[in-house]
Structure formats: C-alpha cells, structure tokens
C-alpha cells in the first residue's frame, strides 16, 4: 500500500505529538480539527497520518496496521490511543467497551458550576439527523436513551471562565458536551451546545488530558498525559489552578 510522503514540518510535528509508543500501542496528542474516524469530508484521519509517518520513519515496504479502539470528536483535542497489533486492538476495544480505562478531560466553561464537584447521572439520546445528543427530562425516558455518568471538579477560574476536570464514566455520543451544557456550563466555543461564540480555530475548549489503564499485552499499569493546546495559553491555566 502506498502512503503519502509527509513534509519535513509534518513529520516533525507528528513525531513531537507521540506521547507513548511500544510494539503494540501508539498514543498521540490529537489537534482540534483532526478526525479520528473517516467521514463524508474524506479528510485524512489521524490514523492515516500516523500510518504515513510510520511508513517513512521505519521504512516499511508493506502495509502499516493501526487500529482505532475509541474516538474523539473533531473539535476536541487530546489523547488518542491507537493499536499497532490486532491483539492489542481486540483487547482495547473490550477495555473501552467495559469502562476499564479511566479517562479524564479538561474543559473551559462559560459559567460557574453549581457545585465545586459533583457526579452527573442521567439518560442521553442521540439525534442522528442533527448529530447532537440530548438529555432525557425526568419522567420521559426514551427507549433509545443510554445511561450517562461523569464526575467533575472545579480546578480554577478567571473573571470570565471556569476550568473543570471531568472523569468520564460512560462513553456516550457528545456526552461531556451535552451534560455540562445541561448543567448550565457550556464549553467555550461549542456553538452546537449553546456557546455564544465560536473559537477562532473552530475548536471547542475540551481536551482529553489523561488516561490510565492496564497495558493490553504487557499487563502493566500505565498513565499518559497530553500537554494542553497552545491556544489555551491565553487563559493562563497555571494561574487558574
């Protein structure tokens, strides 16, 4: 299979965004705007980008295997785990499905949360036509709704924004975006869920910050953390926390 040749800048950027790699796993820091799963835009996926990168770096004459066991929304940045072997992919698929992987996100929201920390539990359903999720109101549970749970805590604030850490307990479509919006804490830049204005780069201020799991093959506990996007520097995050 032929892979595209990356420019020197693309190659260097892809290399710098590798957070962890071994014979079975490749963990990378996704930029907002990159897609994980192919869609109607036919834009290059992050898996395809790293297949091209690995083909160049390792001078591989044949196909490069990279499986995708989970997803991040296009405007979201942060950790994406890719599988370099079919064994790792099968086991990671099961780990993500059963919730045995701990996922933590950071979100900059436009309103103060009602409490400094809480657990949000509800039922969520997806509108395919609008590509949007909604919370079921009390007493109106739909058959297609799924349980959605997360925990959050307030890390810090400025005069205009609040920084939350979210521990995602279930993995529903747009879950964090939907549940935080339903709580009254819309994520900065997230027009779909009620933000007053977009971010200049089309991102939303939601970042997959940290992930902890048992290695699917080596069976050792590991934690990977992703640096924050450069665009977040304007919020002076270190002063907030």
Checking if the pLDDT of 1 tops 70, the result is no
CA–CA distance, 107 with 179 (Å, rounded to integer): 12
CA-wise closest residue to 154 among 164, 145, 146: 164
List, for residues 92-118, the tens digit of each pLDDT value.
Answer: 999 999 999 999 999 999 999 999 999
- How far is it, in rounded angstroms, from Cα 9 to Cα 49? 13
C-alpha span between 157 and 241 (Å, rounded): 8
In the predicted structure, residue 55 carries a pLDDT above the cut 90: yes
Distances (CA, A) of 224 to 50, 71, 104, 204: 18, 16, 10, 22
78 or 140, higher pLDDT: 78
Residue 77 bridge partners (DSSP)? 207
pLDDT of amino acid 52? 96
Q: Encode pLDDT of 109-151 as tens digits.
A: 999 999 999 999 999 999 999 999 999 987 788 889 999 999 9
Q: What is the mean pLDDT of the chain?
A: 94
pLDDT at 234: 81
**Rounded mean pLDDT of 217-221?**
96
CATH assignment of 8-240, among 2.70.70.10, 3.30.2350.10, 1.25.40.10, 3.20.20.105: 3.30.2350.10
Write the pLDDT tens digit of every residue in 22-39: 999 999 999 999 999 888
CA distance 30 to 46: 8
Helix axes 8-16, 46-57, angle to 10 degrees: 110
Q: Is the pLDDT reported for residue 17 higher than 90? A: yes
């Amino acid at each position: 299979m032929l892979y595209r040749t990356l420019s020197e800048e693309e190659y260097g950027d892809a290399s710098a965004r590798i957070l962890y790699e071994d014979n079975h796993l490749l963990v990378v820091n996704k930029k907002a705007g990159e897609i994980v799963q192919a869609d109607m835009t036919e834009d290059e996926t992050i898996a395809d980008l790293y297949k091209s990168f690995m083909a160049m770096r390792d001078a591989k004459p044949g196909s490069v295997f990279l499986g995708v066991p989970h997803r991040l929304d296009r405007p979201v940045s942060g950790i994406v785990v890719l599988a370099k072997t079919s064994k790792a992919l099968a086991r990671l698929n099961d780990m993500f499905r059963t919730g045995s992987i701990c996922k933590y996100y950071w979100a900059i929201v436009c309103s103060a949360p009602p409490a400094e920390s809480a657990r949000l539990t509800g039922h969520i359903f997806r509108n395919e036509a609008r590509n949007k999720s909604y919370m079921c109101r009390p007493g109106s549970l739909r058959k297609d709704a799924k349980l959605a749970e997360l925990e959050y805590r307030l890390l810090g604030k400025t005069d205009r924004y609040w920084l939350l850490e979210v521990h995602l307990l279930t993995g529903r479509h747009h879950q964090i975006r939907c549940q935080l919006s339903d709580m009254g804490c819309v994520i900065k830049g997230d027009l779909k869920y009620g933000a007053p204005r977009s971010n200049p780069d089309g991102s939303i201020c939601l970042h997959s910050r940290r992930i902890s799991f048992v290695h699917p093959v080596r069976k050792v506990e590991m934690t990977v953390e992703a640096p924050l996007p450069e665009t977040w520097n304007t919020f002076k995050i270190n002063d907030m926390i």
